[in-house]
């Protein structure tokens, strides 16, 4: 079976987990992306998703891809748009990470969001299976397109257990230069408006007591300057460290040395990072977004906070800090890995290709 996985310019966590498993299997894999390590690289000048879609469409129309592909698996539904104008015998699979148009509405004009929705709707006609990463992602799709429910299957992607697993906290702190006695709060992800990191900063300002607190921010993005200004205005510079983008294995180490992961997003799909943190034994305090309330059991592996208020977030952070080891053990007991997800995805591929043979 020949699988063509289509990314964009970066690799979502599930693609990073999926690719090596496909390469190690008996299946043939072609990875298409702007990623320099892709089998077929589509170079981008702006790095935008729109540029990638335009160029990917040109590549499809010009038949730049292998003609023996059985399944095309795209990271988003709109990526399959070229197949609305160019027929293929391959089965088409797309992943839906969550309410993308809600996030787009915060960063793009109304006409851009309308255009995106039109492209997505057209692409859905050709899509055979949509993998929703959570029940909330499924409901989001059905609320937009009520006739596609039979195309949707829910696979809540687990963490890659090769990279996200509990490491010795003391050893990890020594390795990364973090004092043993500090209370360490972690955020990892993009710096953007939808991530609402200002709420995290305000909550950290309220919960911090003395000098034995540290906030680690792993990631990068367009709101970094605003975040730094807010930190400076609250005199938190000595207590906040910007780590930049971290490779998955290093992120797993930083998760293992931390005491509490905090997510204060306005909107999310998964988010996968919650599962990754829990797999490292790191309890999570999150706003009620995406599938957070499906993953987190209050008082066991973290807390879901309904209020977008810094005091409420700070209170739950303190609850976690007060019972660190109990939360850590509960996280380890409740963690799930990606291997079972991989088997489900391959079963989808197999069922689709088997149906091709029958028809």
State the pTM of this model: 0.74
Residue 16: CB atoms within 10 Å: 16
Here the contacts of 52-61 (C-beta below 8 Å, separation 24 or greater) are: 52/8, 52/9, 52/79, 53/78, 53/79, 53/81, 53/119, 56/6, 56/32, 56/82, 57/81, 57/82, 57/85, 59/32, 60/86, 61/85, 61/86
- Average per-residue pLDDT for the chain: 91
Kind plus residue range of the DSSP H or E element containing 49:
helix 49-61
**pLDDT tier at 193, thresholds 50, 70, 90:** very high
Q: What order do you get walking across the sheet with 213-218 strand by strand?
A: 240-244, 213-218, 183-188, 260-263, 284-287, 302-305
Over residues 157-192, the pLDDT tens digits come to 778 888 999 999 999 999 999 999 999 999 999 999
Q: Write down the pLDDT at residue 11.
A: 59
Strand blocks (E) in the chain? 2-6, 28-33, 40-41, 71-74, 91-96, 129-132, 152-154, 183-188, 213-218, 240-244, 260-263, 284-287, 302-305
pLDDT at 356 over 70: no
**pLDDT tier at 10, thresholds 50, 70, 90:** low
Collapsing DSSP states into helix, strand and coil, what is residue 89? coil
> Which token pair is 90?
């391959």
pLDDT at 358 over 60: no
Rg, Å, the chain Cα set: 21
Query: What average pLDDT does the segment 325-350 reach?
Result: 88
Over residues 274-296, the pLDDT tens digits come to 999 999 999 999 999 988 988 89
Over residues 18-65, the pLDDT tens digits come to 899 999 999 999 999 998 889 999 999 987 888 999 999 999 999 899
What is the β-pairing status of strands 284-287 and 302-305? Answer: parallel
Over residues 127-167, the pLDDT tens digits come to 999 999 888 888 889 999 989 999 999 998 778 888 999 99
By the 8 A CB rule, do 187 and 219 touch?
yes
Structural domains for the chain: 2-157+338-358 (3.40.50.2000), 169-334 (3.40.50.2000)
Query: What average pLDDT does the segment 302-330 reach?
Result: 96
CA distance 71 to 110: 33
Over residues 64-103, the pLDDT tens digits come to 999 999 999 998 999 999 999 999 999 999 998 777 766 6
Q: Write down the pLDDT at residue 234.
A: 96
């Amino acid at each position: 079976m020949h699988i063509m996985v289509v990314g964009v310019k970066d690799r979502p966590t599930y693609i990073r987990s999926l690719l090596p498993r496909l390469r190690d299997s008996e299946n043939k894999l072609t990875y298409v992306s702007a990623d320099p390590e892709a089998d077929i690289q589509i170079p981008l000048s702006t790095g935008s998703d729109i540029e990638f879609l335009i160029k990917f469409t040109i590549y499809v129309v010009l038949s730049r891809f292998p003609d023996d592909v059985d399944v095309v698996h795209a990271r988003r539904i709109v990526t399959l748009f070229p197949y609305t104008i160019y027929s293929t015998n391959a089965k088409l699979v797309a992943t839906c990470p969550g309410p993308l148009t809600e996030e787009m509405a915060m960063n793009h004009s109304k006409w851009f969001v309308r255009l995106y929705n039109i492209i997505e709707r057209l692409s859905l006609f050709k899509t055979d299976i949509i993998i929703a990463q959570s029940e909330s992602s499924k409901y989001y799709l059905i609320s937009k397109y009520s006739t596609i429910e039979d195309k949707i299957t829910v696979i809540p992607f687990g963490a890659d257990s090769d990279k996200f697993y509990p490491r010795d906290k003391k050893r990890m702190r020594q390795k990364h230069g973090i004092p043993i006695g500090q209370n360490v709060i972690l955020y990892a992800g993009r710096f953007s408006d939808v991530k609402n990191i200002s709420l995290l900063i305000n909550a950290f300002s309220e919960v911090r007591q003395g000098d034995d607190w540290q906030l680690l921010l792993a990631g990068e993005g367009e709101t970094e300057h605003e975040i730094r200004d807010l930190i400076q205005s609250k005199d938190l510079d000595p207590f906040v460290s910007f780590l930049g983008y971290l490779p998955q294995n290093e992120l797993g180490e930083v998760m293992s040395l931390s005491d509490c992961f905090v997510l204060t997003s306005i909107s999310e799909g998964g988010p996968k990072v919650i599962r990754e943190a829990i797999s490292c034994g790191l309890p999570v305090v999150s706003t009620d977004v995406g599938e957070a309330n499906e993953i987190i059991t209050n008082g066991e592996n973290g807390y879901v906070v309904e209020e977008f208020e810094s005091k409420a977030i700070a209170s739950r952070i303190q609850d976690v800090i007060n019972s660190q080891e109990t939360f850590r053990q509960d996280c380890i007991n409740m963690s799930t890995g990606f291997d079972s997800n991989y088997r489900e995805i391959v079963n989808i591929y197999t069922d689709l290709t088997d149906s091709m043979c029958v028809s």
